[in-house]
Structure 1
Amino acid sequence: MLGAAGVPHAALIRYRGASHSKVIPPVRPAQPSAPGRFRAALAESPPLWWSLLYFFCLLCGYYVLRPVRDAMGASGNVADVFPQWFVSWAAGAGWDLAGLTLQVLFSITFVAMVVLQPLYGALVSRFPRRVFLPAVYLVFIACLLGFHWMFDREWSGRGAAFFVWTAVFNLFAVSVFWSFMADVFDNAQAKLYYGYIGAGGTIGALVGPVLTRVLAERVGVDNLLLISAGFLAACLLCIMKLRPWALRSEQARGEASGEAAMGGSVMAGIRLVLSDPLLRALAMLMFFGVGVGTLLYNEQAAIAKANFIADEARTAYYANIDLAINTLTIITQLLVTRWLLRRYGIAPALLLPGIAIMFGFALLAASPLPMLVAAVQVLTRSSEFSLGKPARETIYTRVDRESRYKAKAVIDTVVYRGGDLSFVWLHKGLAAFGSATVFAAGVGVAGLFLFSAWRVVREQPPAVVGAPTAT
């Protein structure tokens, strides 16, 4: 009689001595270590190599820029952020622009997202994947070259323009990346590989701030932009290498090829989000997830502005926070994410971060200490990157291409920045009553985030059983 592992049960394996019998425990096959599982995954899936490199280069390029962006947002000198005409207009209108820097920047970012979304929808609808994917990254590279020129000449308003552009770049580029991954991998492969792909991105997110810390004062902020452009150029190479694997995966799943233009309305993404229960739940999850992050981000910005006067000091502060977040993220991605998704599905990966964030905000409401704020920030963002994000992205392997590219882009950009805009102004009102009030409200927002995660778990489509894979 065999046990579940295909070996005899211990109770049935005995040898008899002179006066007693002894049970011999079964010999179970040794489980491979985490590095062993990773090497096996790389060996069985060639596209995993290119996906890892792709996400590494994308996030490394972004995290070279992020500390520069955050330092701009936390700057106490509005003349370094906004164009002179806007500073003069705000002063004439009686605005305290120094106290509204983040609120104004987030508002402009949301408007930019709303304006760009139809343009992206038109690009996706009218051109095949081999055209619109490289086009997105080529536009971003061209923008970085333009910002290099602006920073080199200390162009007025470069801080605000760069802050808004970096936010747009991050959301669109990362959203396009994960949409493409859902073309390359099916649902079963996503549960196996997305944790590793996320870890590749996290390594890039670790390397990026290090490059910024080492090179910012040596080569100048303007030349950091050229380094980021080089990483985006490497992303283009990865896209070309992964294209054949996307075609094979689509063929194996019986899907329409991405080599043909998708067609449909440029506004189809918004219509899908409003009409589909799963996409609505994902939009709610994004909105309230952004909410808890934005409340924390603004408290962190206030601390940085009060404690770090120089731009270089604030940049180093944000770089250190990013290093702590990404260290915890990569440990979780390599040791927990793959096992959790394969064994239990998306439910714990979506629900556990919400529970942890509620607990963290409750602690902050009782004792809003600066170091505790930083610790909860690390917990919030690392749980999102290592658990929440991979779990959400596996869902998009089970929806049609229009939902994957158009609706997902709406959720990842417009809904995301809509959450930013809503909660950055909410924070402004709550901050007048003190940090404890901000964090008490955050407990309620975290509760809505947890409820949204539960809705996503309930609405998720069933996995296709027995679908062919393309490794």
Structure 2
Amino acid sequence: MSAPLDPPPQRGPLRGLLQALRDTPALWWSFLYFFCLLSGYYVLRPVREAMASSSDLQEVFPPALISWFSSHGVALQEFVLQFLFTCVFLIMLVLQPVYGWLVSRQPRRVFMPVVYGFFIVTLLGFHLMFDSNVPGRGMAFFFWVMVFNLFAVAVFWSFMADVFSNAQARAYYGYIGAAGTLGAFLGPAITGALVQRVGIANLMLVSAGFLSVCLLCIWRLRHWAILREREQQLVSGEQPMGGSVLDGLKLIAREPLLRWLALLVLFGVGVGTLLYNQQAAIVRVAYPDPEARTAFYSHLDLAVNALTLLVQLTLTRWLLSRHGVAPALLIPALAIIVGFSVLAASPLPLLVAVVQVVTRASEFSLFKPARETIYTRVDRQWRYKAGAAIDTVVYRGADLSFTWVHKGLSLLGSNLVFAGGIVVAALMTLAAFGVLREEKKLPRDR
């Protein structure tokens, strides 16, 4: 049974969801897939944040690395995030060709299980590292979570564009995002409830269990992806895509729409990184204990996810179905400009937390679904190669660049950090208009 090519007529959020589930069985598996994916990630996210803001260098870095920096007269404690984000970007540069080779040479039924299987196996390794208190575990885990977050989620949305048409994406992506948000609720709730009882090491096993369910969902959803490709005479994902391992970066350089999408991600990540780093500086002082920091970040994640879910269930589907991607791209950009303007005038810790919640919630509930909807109207090379390159190399390049920008601006005070954020948010808005101009040139559906 295949999914209908047209979405159901407009109804209230709950009635529309129930009708969509009756009409489109693939939605059930998509919901379960994204729910488990974000549950597994958000179990681990507070641990990552706690490691990044730790005041104990031995917890984060290997002793040899600490000694090397010390012998060269560098206080590593002052450059924790800058060092971590620099290394993550270098790791992405290495892994992007590996991923490009995988999706070029292997069919969908192979490369998707390989990606998730890799993450499950490495989680078992981190269980042993945290259980044995291996020095430097924080750095290794920070690298791993950053890579996992980008590659696993990028693969998910690329796969959804194989399963659903553009019309379905505009109707259903808000609901799918809401299922992920419910998982994002569960993840930090599990962490907050269990971390001080069972310890950080056993949280790795919980996350591995969620990712194992994702493998089952991938296996089930392949059926609907194959049916859609046959019905609409699209290139089959059951065959290797071929091409070069660097095709993604070449496509970004050649295609105007992809260039604007890359700039949109660059500046969108930039404002988030400025806010994230400033928040980390505050939390490092306020919560010296790693378990307390982990609990704080889990509460922040719960607030973000509550607002995200509310928007996804009440606004996202209506905006995308009735008005297209334009409002969903522009509203978050304008909200960030307002938030950073408030912080530039009064950078109070509570206001920083509030703006963080609004910024991340608008990204997850509006910005991300709008971007991913565009990918349903392009071919698989753009989705799996160029889209993945934007979500990995460009994304982490932005992290790296704006981490160092934050370091320079923070020397002059919080007010200047947030004033700089206003400029970056304005550039993000300009990039959104560029995306919208190029997006109009795409066919309505494939």
Conserved? CA contact 1:199–1:334, under 8 Å: yes
2:181 to 175, 195, 202: 202
Conserved? CA contact 1:365–1:440, under 8 Å: yes
Separation in 1, partners of 2:384, 2:12: 36
Q: Secondary structure at the match of 1:442?
A: helix
Conserved? CA contact 1:59–1:205, under 8 Å: yes
Question: What is the CA deviation profile of residues 359-414 of structure 1, one whole-angstrom value per residue up to 9, with x for unaligned ones?
Answer: 11111111111111111111110000000000000000011111110001100000
Conserved? CA contact 2:108–2:239, under 8 Å: yes
Residue 203 (structure 2) aligns with: 224
Residue 74 (structure 1) aligns with: 53
2:14 is the counterpart of 1:35 = yes
2:272 is the counterpart of 1:293 = yes
2:246 is the counterpart of 1:267 = yes
Question: How far did residue 33 of structure 1 move?
Answer: 2.9
- List aligned pairs for 1:32-431, cutoff 5 A: 32-431=11-410
What amino acid is the match of 1:375? V
Aligned identity (percent) is 60
Q: Secondary structure at the match of 1:266?
A: coil
What amino acid is the match of 1:377? Q
Separation in 2, partners of 1:68, 1:129: 31
Question: How far did residue 309 of structure 1 move?
Answer: 1.0
Separation in 2, partners of 1:265, 1:157: 36
Separation in 2, partners of 1:366, 1:156: 41
1:459 to 435, 438, 446: 438
Question: How far did residue 338 of structure 1 move?
Answer: 0.2
Separation in 1, partners of 2:379, 2:403: 34
Instruction: Name the CA shift for 1:269/1:463 in 2 (closer, same or farther; >3 Å).
Output: closer
Q: Secondary structure at the match of 1:121?
A: helix
Conserved? CA contact 1:354–1:450, under 8 Å: yes
Separation in 1, partners of 2:420, 2:241: 42
- Give the stretch that moved more between structures: 176-185 or 216-225: 216-225
What amino acid is the match of 1:294? T
Separation in 2, partners of 1:461, 1:243: 30
Separation in 1, partners of 2:441, 2:24: 24
Residue 4 (structure 1) aligns with: none
2:390 is the counterpart of 1:436 = no
Conserved? CA contact 1:128–1:260, under 8 Å: yes
Q: Secondary structure at the match of 2:240?
A: coil
Question: How far did residue 253 of structure 1 move?
Answer: 2.0
Conserved? CA contact 1:358–1:443, under 8 Å: yes
Question: How far did residue 96 of structure 1 move?
Answer: 1.2
Question: How far did residue 465 of structure 1 move?
Answer: 5.1
Q: Secondary structure at the match of 1:263?
A: coil
Question: What is the CA deviation profile of residues 305-364 of structure 1, one whole-angstrom value per residue up to 9, with x for unaligned ones?
Answer: 111110011111111110000000000000000000011000000011111101111111
Instruction: Name the CA shift for 1:32/1:186 in 2 (closer, same or farther; >3 Å).
Output: closer
Separation in 2, partners of 1:347, 1:232: 33
Residue 12 (structure 1) aligns with: none
Separation in 2, partners of 1:253, 1:99: 55
Instruction: Name the CA shift for 1:422/1:31 in 2 (closer, same or farther; >3 Å).
Output: closer
Conserved? CA contact 1:203–1:330, under 8 Å: yes
What amino acid is the match of 1:65? L
Separation in 1, partners of 2:110, 2:236: 14
Separation in 2, partners of 1:465, 1:446: 29
What amino acid is the match of 2:224? W
Separation in 2, partners of 1:203, 1:162: 24
Instruction: Name the CA shift for 1:236/1:31 in 2 (closer, same or farther; >3 Å).
Output: closer
Separation in 1, partners of 2:41, 2:445: 38
Conserved? CA contact 1:332–1:386, under 8 Å: yes
Segments of 4+ moved more than 6 angstroms = none
What amino acid is the match of 1:316? A
Conserved? CA contact 1:187–1:463, under 8 Å: no
Separation in 1, partners of 2:360, 2:227: 34
Q: Secondary structure at the match of 1:260?
A: coil
Separation in 2, partners of 1:210, 1:425: 33
What amino acid is the match of 1:448? L
Q: Secondary structure at the match of 1:154?
A: coil
Q: Secondary structure at the match of 2:236?
A: coil
Separation in 1, partners of 2:85, 2:184: 23
What amino acid is the match of 1:400? D
What amino acid is the match of 1:209? P
Separation in 2, partners of 1:31, 1:274: 39
Conserved? CA contact 1:64–1:228, under 8 Å: yes
Separation in 2, partners of 1:209, 1:457: 35
Separation in 2, partners of 1:107, 1:337: 35
Q: Secondary structure at the match of 2:135?
A: coil
Q: Secondary structure at the match of 2:242?
A: coil
Conserved? CA contact 1:113–1:417, under 8 Å: yes
Conserved? CA contact 2:377–2:445, under 8 Å: no
